[in-house]
């Protein structure tokens, strides 16, 4: 990715953003539902994802490495990782709730899962 973003003949920032969001981010957060839930000890995983996203934001904008994290991410058009994970977890819960009563996933989830109906 560094070769794609070189300063002389590289991708413009919009193309870098377009490359990061649909290609890199889904691979990085693949399997988040296994470790991102209420009460989970996932501080290390989230800090690694924050570091990755900060480096991607610096790569996208071409900012200095001493730039503040929140400012560079907002300039790059990226949502903070923890909010992105919360959004995806909520969407997964909405999809689960809309399953039919006879779906086989309900037997796996068990009686303690709150259906919300």
Kindly report, residue by residue over 37-51, the tens digit of the pLDDT: 777 788 888 899 999
Domain ranges for the chain: 13-109
103, pLDDT greater than 90: no
52-87 residue pLDDT tens: 999 999 988 888 888 998 899 999 999 999 899 889
Exposed, middle or buried, 21 (CB in 10 Å: 0-12/13-18/19+)? middle
Whether this model's pTM surpasses 0.85: no
């Amino acid at each position: 990715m560094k070769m794609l973003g070189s300063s002389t003949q590289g991708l413009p920032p919009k193309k870098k953003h377009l490359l990061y969001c649909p290609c890199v981010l889904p691979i990085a957060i693949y399997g988040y539902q296994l470790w991102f839930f209420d009460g989970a000890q996932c501080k290390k995983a989230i800090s690694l994802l924050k570091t990755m996203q900060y480096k991607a934001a610096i790569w996208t904008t071409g900012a200095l490495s001493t730039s503040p994290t929140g400012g560079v991410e907002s300039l790059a058009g990226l949502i903070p990782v923890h909010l992105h994970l919360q959004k995806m977890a909520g969407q997964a819960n909405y999809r689960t709730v809309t399953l039919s009563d006879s779906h086989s996933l309900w037997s796996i989830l068990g009686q303690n899962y709150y259906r919300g109906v």
